[in-house]
Amino acid sequence: MSSLNLSPNPTIMAITAGIFVANLIAVKKLFLEPYLKVRDQRIKATFGNQAAAEQLELENTRSTENIRNRIAQASLEARNFRESTLVTAKQKRDELLAAASKEATEVVTALRGNLVKELAEQRQAVPAIVQQLSRQFVDRLIPR
């Protein structure tokens, strides 16, 4: 009859352990390490890019706010410059109008004085002209 031998055989156990270790090393080198490497790269790519994207989004938000502040400041400066230039231009206009008005008044006054003077001279000359015309009229009417 046959008997069942339950005592371990050290040679077979050593060979089986050797095959197991060889398979373990082969699986680790050929499958596990490349898979873990690709998985780590994927995690770094996704989560790393998400972190970088969040950082870039924060920087973008800060930059946008900075640009808006600078635009508002430039707008305020432009408005102030426009108002000050407008005030200066109005003052210059008023000064020029006052000077032109004064000059025009002086010219009108001078011309009016000249006209009055010429009118007085012409009025003084009227009797002599009337007398000369009267003589010419009389000479033509009454020949001598």
DSSP, res 144: -
pLDDT-based confidence at 128, cuts 50/70/90? confident
pLDDT-based confidence at 1, cuts 50/70/90? low
Residue range 59-114, pLDDT digits in tens: 999 999 999 999 999 999 999 999 999 999 999 999 999 999 999 999 999 999 99
- Distance in angstroms (rounded) separating the CA atoms of residues 48 and 52: 6
Domain borders along the chain are: 18-144
Tokens encoding 111: 């011309």
Residue 37 to residues 28, 47, 50: CA-CA distances in angstroms?
12, 15, 19
Determine what percent of the chain is predicted with pLDDT higher than 70.
97
- Distance in angstroms (rounded) separating the CA atoms of residues 135 and 142: 10
Across 35-58, average pLDDT = 85
Query: Nearest 5 degrees, angle CA 96-CA 97-CA 101?
Result: 120
pLDDT at 144: 65
Tokens encoding 50: 């998400």
Residue 115 pLDDT exceeds 80: yes
Tokens encoding 126: 């009227």
Quote the mean pLDDT of the chain. Answer: 90
